[in-house]
Amino acid sequence: MYDLIGTYLANNRYRVVSFIGEGGMAQVYKVWDEQRACYLAMKMMRSDLAMDRVVLRRFHREAETLSRLQHPSIVRFYGMEQDGERVFLLMEYIDGISLAKEIFQTAAPFSEERILTYLRPVCSALHYAHQNGVVHCDIKSANIMIERQGRVCITDFGIARLAESTTTTLAGLGTPGYAAPEQIMGKPPLPQTDIYALGVVLYEMATGGERPFTGEEYKDEMLLINAVNREHLNIPPPSPRKYNPRISPALEAVILRCLEKSPRKRYPDALMLLQALENAIGKPSNSEQLTTSVARLHPAVLRFLIGALAVALLLIAFLIGSILFSPKPTATQPPHLKYTYAAQTVEARFTKLPGWESTRQPSLTPLPPTQPMMQPSPPIANTTADTPEKPPASTLPLPPAGAPTAKVLAAQGIYIRSGPSTAYEVIAGYPQGALLQVIGRNQKSDWLAVLLENGQEGWVFGENVDLSVPVDTLKLILPPPTPTPTPTETIRTATHTPTATQTETEIP
């Protein structure tokens, strides 16, 4: 097996890097793909088997089946190749270990949470495969891989075959210990065949590596494999609580339903199994979660949190008090104080900046109900289906030294618009902390003109940034042509006198 290491296969395309392991019919190597420039797992058929037409067909089937499946929790398949008498499959290399190994190494029952962590992606992948007419037929903990970063995926759809194809019967495929009764009897596999095998995996995780059928009941009479099969067919599975009394009756019921002899009595599909598992394991209520998390905290952290909570409560009390006892707006406000919500907030913020002298008096105009400060329209640069909610990370070069800057304060990041109001289109987005070069302001000083990385001018709402210079030192920039007014904007014209109910969506 080691004589392959360092050699090249398939016209120098694959360099064999190391030996990974061996299964029933193949050896697995890590190879370097010169063309793709990445590591792959190469499943090399044993030389004696490569000459066997039946086994070769099995490999071909694995190739065909895998190529039809693409799911984040299914090991990606890259094709089947032949080099002389060597036949091998190429698949995504998983840097991690099998669940079987993890169960063995843990040597204790898994917590319910950990069981769910593994079962969620596995059920999702199985459901996807079943929906596509593919039954794995060899689900076992050795065929579930856990990547170092935590990704869980199913490998070896090697003996899986298309569920829709019922003309051939491959009795006895699958691994003893996991094979469902119908599989042992040579009946066509069903999605429930995988659910049965997954029941055995669940059993292993919940008991710390025990399996329901080991052949020990019949071992004196026959070959071990036959003994195991006979147990699958004839003996009810022993309760997993026999090995781990801490398993809840609800979890036990889920495991035993997976192991029903009749496929019809098992869960109809992998998602229903997952649902049952989620219900059985249950999530602690929020208050329980909080109690548990708080209980786990270090006393010093706990003291800090209690202190912070007390301060927060005091602040809230102060705020409520100031709202209740603040002077009410009067009808005698001078007209110039009738600014919009946005303008008020901007002023409140900008007046804190050194050197900023407001010519306006703080307005006592009641705030309009819940006018959003930024319209949640997506940036036009990112109009694909998977447009992130948050503006993308900035690649903006740092502004030149000494230039006025605006640092993004909004936790959600900000959108840059083509003009100084939310009536203009979004042309870019920047995350919290991004530093923008400011080149001017609008007349009301509530919007700032900034320079985008492509040299384009954009506008950002002033409240959401921290300006490095007093706003009135900035150059006044005339806004671009007014976009077509929406019905709400038509009430505002150049000669319109601002009213107390106007909002920042108005075009200056």
Ligand X SMILES: Nc1ncnc2c1ncn2[C@@H]1O[C@H](COP(=O)(O)OP(=O)(O)OP(=O)(O)O)[C@@H](O)[C@H]1O
Which chain residues interact with ligand X by CB under 6 A? 20-26, 28, 41, 75, 91-94, 98, 142-143, 155-156, 175
Helix or strand (DSSP H, E) at 439: strand 435-441
- Which of ligand X, Mg ion, none sits in contact with 116, Cβ below 5 to 8 A by type? none
- Which of Mg ion, ligand X, none sits in contact with 94, Cβ below 5 to 8 A by type? ligand X
156 binds Mg ion (CB under 5 A): yes
Q: Which residue number, 158 or 238, has a Cβ lying nearer to ligand X?
A: 158
User: Could you tell me the smallest distance in angstroms from the CB atom of residue 180 to ligand X?
Assistant: 16
Which part of the chain contacts Mg ion (CB under 5 A), choosing from 74-82, 149-157, 372-380, 496-504?
149-157
* Distance separating the N- and C-terminal Cα atoms of the chain: 77
- Which of ligand X, Mg ion, none sits in contact with 28, Cβ below 5 to 8 A by type? ligand X
260 binds Mg ion (CB under 5 A): no
Q: Which residue number, 78 or 459, has a Cβ lying nearer to ligand X?
A: 78
- What number of helices (H) and strands (E) belong to the chain? 12, 18
Binding residues with Mg ion: total (CB under 5 A): 3
User: Could you tell me the smallest distance in angstroms from the CB atom of residue 76 to ligand X?
Assistant: 9
Q: How many residues does the chain have?
A: 508
Q: Is 390 helix (H, G, I), strand (E, B) or coil?
A: coil
Q: Any idea which residue has 């067919």 for tokens?
A: 233
Q: What angle do CA 386, 390, 394 make, to 5 degrees?
A: 105
- Which residue out of 3, 52, 83, 138 is catalytically annotated? 138
**Token representation of residue 172:** 């006895």
User: Could you tell me the smallest distance in angstroms from the CB atom of residue 162 to Mg ion?
Assistant: 20
Q: Do the beta carbons of residue 449 and residue 440 sit within 8 Å?
A: yes
- Which of Mg ion, ligand X, none sits in contact with 433, Cβ below 5 to 8 A by type? none
Q: Do the beta carbons of residue 414 and residue 461 sit within 8 Å?
A: yes
The identity of residue 17, as a single letter, is: V
Q: Which of 118, 89, 113, 84 is nearest to 101 (CA)?
A: 118
Q: What angle do CA 104, 106, 111 make, to 5 degrees?
A: 120
What is the pattern of x (binds Mg ion, CB under 5 A) and - over residues 11-50?
A: ------------x---------------------------
Is 138 known to be catalytic? yes
User: Could you tell me the smallest distance in angstroms from the CB atom of residue 98 to ligand X?
Assistant: 4
Q: Do the beta carbons of residue 444 and residue 508 sit within 8 Å?
A: yes
Q: Do the beta carbons of residue 233 and residue 261 sit within 8 Å?
A: yes
Q: Which residue number, 155 or 345, has a Cβ lying nearer to Mg ion?
A: 155
Q: Do the beta carbons of residue 277 and residue 254 sit within 8 Å?
A: yes
User: Could you tell me the smallest distance in angstroms from the CB atom of residue 97 to ligand X?
Assistant: 7
Q: Between the CA of residue 303 and those of 1, 166, 300, what are the distances in Å?
A: 60, 66, 5
Which part of the chain contacts Mg ion (CB under 5 A), choosing from 143-151, 199-207, 208-216, 488-496?
143-151
User: Could you tell me the smallest distance in angstroms from the CB atom of residue 25 to ligand X?
Assistant: 5
Q: Which residue number, 179 or 416, has a Cβ lying nearer to ligand X?
A: 179
- Which of ligand X, Mg ion, none sits in contact with 24, Cβ below 5 to 8 A by type? ligand X
User: Could you tell me the smallest distance in angstroms from the CB atom of residue 83 to Mg ion?
Assistant: 22
Q: Which residue number, 200 or 406, has a Cβ lying nearer to Mg ion?
A: 200
Residue nearest to Mg ion (CB): 156
175 binds Mg ion (CB under 5 A): no
Q: Which residue number, 155 or 183, has a Cβ lying nearer to ligand X?
A: 155
Residue nearest to ligand X (CB): 23
Pairing of strands 134-135, 144-147: unpaired
- Which of Mg ion, ligand X, none sits in contact with 21, Cβ below 5 to 8 A by type? ligand X
Q: Which residue number, 147 or 472, has a Cβ lying nearer to ligand X?
A: 147
- Which of ligand X, Mg ion, none sits in contact with 33, Cβ below 5 to 8 A by type? none
- Which of ligand X, Mg ion, none sits in contact with 502, Cβ below 5 to 8 A by type? none
Q: Is 100 left (phi over 0), alpha (psi -120 to 50) or beta?
A: alpha
331 secondary structure, DSSP code:
T
- Which of Mg ion, ligand X, none sits in contact with 457, Cβ below 5 to 8 A by type? none
User: Could you tell me the smallest distance in angstroms from the CB atom of residue 99 to ligand X?
Assistant: 9
d(CA 437, CA 279): 53
Q: Which residue number, 193 or 363, has a Cβ lying nearer to ligand X?
A: 193
CB within 8 Å of 37: residues ≥ 6 apart:
none
Q: Any idea which residue has 């992998």 for tokens?
A: 270
Beta bridge partners of 421: none
Q: Do the beta carbons of residue 332 and residue 464 sit within 8 Å?
A: no
User: Could you tell me the smallest distance in angstroms from the CB atom of residue 98 to Mg ion?
Assistant: 8
Q: Which residue number, 154 or 471, has a Cβ lying nearer to ligand X?
A: 154
In a 13 Å sphere around the CA of 452, the CA atoms on its Cβ side amount to 16
Helix or strand (DSSP H, E) at 33: strand 26-33
Among 27, 141, 143, 344, binds Mg ion (CB under 5 A): 143
74 secondary structure, DSSP code:
B
Per-residue buried b or exposed e for 41-64, using 16+ beta carbons within 10 Å of the residue's own CB: bbbbbbeebbeeeebbebbebbbe
What residues are labeled active site? Answer: 138
Residues that bind Mg ion (CB under 5 A): 23, 143, 156
